[in-house]
Amino acid sequence: MLVERGQQFVRWTQRILVLTGVLALAYVAVTLFSARVYQNAASRILEEQIHAEERHTFVGTRNPVKEGDVLGRIEIPRIALSVVVLQGTTSQTLRLGVGHIDGTALPGNPGNIGIAGHRDTFFRGLKDIRSNDEILLQTSAGTATYVVDWIQITQPSDGGIVFSASTSALTLVTCYPFYYIGAAPERFVVHAHCKQP
């Protein structure tokens, strides 16, 4: 009788663990699928912005950007990375794309543009980036080419990683190590300067 209850307990425990695993995998699949669908929609929005900019010959005042607005697209050809840049760095925004860091220059403007992304989704490819790699930043105003100067691993408390600059620069930030489980203890920082035409 006691052995039978023990076996029954083990069977129920196995079922619960299998169900938990299936639900966890389903959650990840739905999250990745919805992010991919959103990236496609955001790409269409960016293309519409580009075409609208091409049709107008004057530059009027722009509305202030708000959390989640589509600002552009980053492409790093050598590592096959392409992702839409959104305004802000809330958890919801970073689930859907990479985010412009408040207080840094806006994409398409002079200064240091700071962009953050999750290491386990859109910025996973940064693990393979190298000095002198080209980064393309496309906005409705055009495409700027940046060249990677340096890569650095810092502490999250290092507020100087996205510094102000008078020249055009780009700083990409993600968590590090890339294969760490849980909240990563460090930050992976890529800095690039704007390549002059």
Task: Write out the two tokens for 12.
Answer: 């129920």
Q: How confident is the model at residue 58 (pLDDT cuts 50, 70, 90)?
A: very low
Q: What's the CATH superfamily of 53-194? A: Sortase (2.40.260.10)
Alpha helices in the chain (DSSP H): 2-55, 91-96
Q: For residue 28, what pLDDT band results from cuts at 50, 70 and 90?
A: low
Cβ neighbour number for residue 38 with a 10 Å cutoff: 16
Over residues 96-149, the pLDDT tens digits come to 999 999 989 998 888 999 999 999 889 999 999 999 999 999 998 889 999 999
- 187 and 154 in contact (C-beta within 8 Å)? yes
Q: What backbone torsions phi and psi does residue 116 show, to the nearest 5 degrees?
A: -115, 150
Question: What CA–CA distances, in Å, run from 172 to 8, 23, 110, 120, 181?
Answer: 53, 33, 16, 15, 21
Give me the residues paired with residue 98 across strands.
85
Which run of H or E residues covers position 116? strand 112-116
Distances (CA, A) of 14 to 3, 20, 27, 113: 17, 10, 20, 50
Q: Where are the domains of the chain?
A: 53-194
Is 115:98 a contact under the CB 8 Å cutoff?
A: yes
pLDDT of res. 145: 96
Residue with tokens 């004057």: 58
Distances (CA, A) of 112 to 99, 117, 160, 171, 193: 14, 16, 12, 7, 9
pTM over 0.85: no
